[in-house]
Amino acid sequence: MADTSTAPKETLPAGHPKAGYASPDLSYHEGTGTIPDAEKEWHEERNDAQQAELEAIADGEDKVAKEERALTEEHAKVAKERAKFLDEQKYGPTAGKLPGDASYEEPDASGSSSSSKTTTSKTSSSSS
């Protein structure tokens, strides 16, 4: 297994409902010369805050992407199991039906499906 500290973080596509939004990078400073120390500190604080924001977004997107991938893999596993079950049930009384479906009937011990619905009819005789 890859070391998680060096593994690249997963990202979410643009427009994803859980994708993070980063404020614009304002670290570019145009001009020549030096700036006063107070202004320089302000720029550094702003840049540090923006970097922390990017790291938080990357961590959040990585977590969501991994959760969604795990969920997708679980759904694929279930779909594969259902397909295998249907393939095994290709022939016989339960062919093409999954347990839980309305049309599915459990086969009884003899192998035939248990659809013995009995109907009784009343006969009335009239005497004249």
The string of pLDDT tens digits covering residues 64-108 is 999 999 999 999 999 998 888 777 776 666 666 666 666 666 666
- Determine the pLDDT at residue 117: 47
Where does residue 76 fall: left (phi above 0), alpha (psi -120 to 50 degrees), or beta otherwise?
alpha
pLDDT at residue 92 in the model: 62
pLDDT attached to residue 47: 92
17 assigned to some structural domain:
no
Q: Which residue is it, tokens 């619905």?
A: 117
**75 part of a folded domain:** yes
Dihedral over alpha carbons 73, 79, 85, 88 (to 10 degrees) = -100
Domain assignment of residue 40, yes or no? yes
Please state the length of the chain.
128
What's the pLDDT at 119? 47
60 found inside a domain: yes
Instruction: Compare 125 and 22 and report the one with higher pLDDT.
Output: 22
Residue 23 domain-assigned?
A: no
pLDDT tens for 26-57 read 888 777 678 888 888 998 999 999 999 999 99
| Structural domain contains residue 126 | no
Which structural domain, as residue segments, surrounds residue 53? 35-88
Is 58 inside a domain boundary?
yes
- Tell me the C-alpha distance between 75 and 83, whole Å: 12
Q: Report the predicted TM-score, pTM, of the whole model to 2 decimal places.
A: 0.56
d(CA 72, CA 43): 43
Mean pLDDT, range 6-19, rounded to an integer? 87
* pLDDT tens readout for residues 108-117: 656 555 444 4
* N-terminal to C-terminal alpha carbon distance within the chain: 92
Residue 54 lies in a domain: yes
Total count of domains within the chain: 1
Q: Enter the DSSP assignment of 33.
A: S
Distance between CA atoms of residues 113 and 99, nearest Å: 13
